[in-house]
């Protein structure tokens, strides 16, 4: 895993979350789950998502944060609207992002997946810089984890139907997959 020499992507800002644990023995990473998050809702660029994943969020910081201070959640990656990518959990460890989830008949997707949060919301589009960063990171992850493929990149709503809706209807799956396939094709050409 040349781009992840110690489990941390060489191109991401490293922010170590305490909210993770070991993957089950024999678990292979074969799923990438895309989420969307903004704290407070529809406010971008602030410190609150970072604080949530680091376990330092103070509910009194904003009225919309009530009830979130005790959550123990994380993701492997967070892509800001600027395209800046932060990493919170070593890719060899299990981040706590999927919750109650099912994929291919297998329950509890955290053990087999990587969680990637995009700064955004269901009712808001994503930036070009985010799509570019997402494609770049997805290529690196697919190189590092051979069981991960274009068809195994899903939204949170796909593994937690009825409970979650992100990344939402404004995430352009066609744009993302076309750019990812084009990037993968460029990377494999002689």
Q: Is residue 7 part of a domain?
A: no
118 domain-assigned: yes
* Any domain includes 6: no
Q: What is the pLDDT of residue 70?
A: 87
pLDDT confidence of 190, banded at 50, 70, 90? low
Q: Where does 52-140 show beta strands of DSSP type E?
A: 77-79, 85-87, 93-95, 102-103, 106-107, 113-119
Residue 94 falls within a domain, yes or no? yes
Q: Which residues contact 91 (CB under 8 A, 6 or more apart)?
A: 1, 4, 7, 8, 9, 29, 76, 114, 141, 144, 145
- Count the Cβ atoms, other than its own, within 10 Å of residue 158: 17
How far apart, in whole angstroms, are the C-alpha atoms of residue 147 and residue 153?
11
Give the pTM.
0.96
Residue with tokens 């089950």: 24
CA distance 59 to 146: 40
The confidence band for 149, taking pLDDT boundaries of 50, 70 and 90, is very high
**Considering its fold, how many domains does the chain have in total?**
1
Residue 3 lies in a domain: no
SS3 label, residue 108: coil
Residue 5 lies in a domain: no
The boundaries of the domain holding residue 135 are 14-188
Which whole number is the average pLDDT over 64-69?
A: 90
Residue 126: inside a domain, yes or no? Answer: yes
Rounded distance, CA 1 to CA 23, Å? 17
Sign of the torsion angle spanned by Cα atoms 96, 143, 92, 81: negative
Assign 27 a pLDDT band (cuts: 50, 70, 90). Answer: confident
Task: Give catalytic residues, as residue numbers.
Answer: 117
pLDDT computed for residue 189 by the predictor: 60
| CATH assignment at residue 37 | 3.40.80.10
Q: Is pLDDT above 80 for 188? A: no
In this predicted structure, what is the pLDDT of residue 1?
A: 73
φ, ψ (nearest 5 deg) of residue 162? 85, -20
Q: Is the dihedral of CA 146, 27, 118, 7 positive or negative?
A: negative
Question: Could you give the angle at which helices 128-144 and 173-188 cross, rounded to 10 degrees?
Answer: 50
Question: Residue 2 falls within a domain, yes or no?
Answer: no
pLDDT confidence of 12, banded at 50, 70, 90? very high
Report the percentage of the chain scoring pLDDT > 90. Answer: 89
pLDDT value, residue 30: 97
């Amino acid at each position: 895993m040349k781009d992840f020499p110690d489990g941390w992507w060489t191109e991401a800002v490293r922010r170590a979350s305490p909210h993770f644990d070991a993957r089950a023995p024999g678990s292979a990473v074969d799923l990438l789950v895309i989420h969307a998050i903004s704290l407070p809702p529809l406010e971008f660029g602030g410190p609150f998502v970072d604080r949530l994943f680091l376990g330092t969020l103070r509910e009194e910081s904003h009225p919309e944060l009530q009830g979130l201070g005790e959550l123990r959640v994380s993701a492997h990656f967070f892509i800001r609207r600027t395209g800046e990518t932060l990493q919170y959990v070593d890719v060899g460890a299990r981040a706590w992002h999927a919750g109650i989830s099912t994929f291919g008949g297998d329950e509890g997707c955290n053990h087999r997946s990587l969680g990637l949060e995009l700064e955004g919301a269901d009712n808001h589009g994503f930036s070009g810089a985010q799509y570019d960063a997402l494609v770049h990171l997805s290529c690196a992850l697919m190189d590092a984890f051979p069981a991960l493929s274009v068809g195994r990149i899903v939204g949170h709503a796909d593994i937690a139907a009825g409970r979650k809706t992100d990344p939402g209807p404004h995430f352009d799956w066609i744009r993302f997959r076309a750019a990812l396939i084009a990037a993968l094709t460029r990377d494999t050409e002689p």
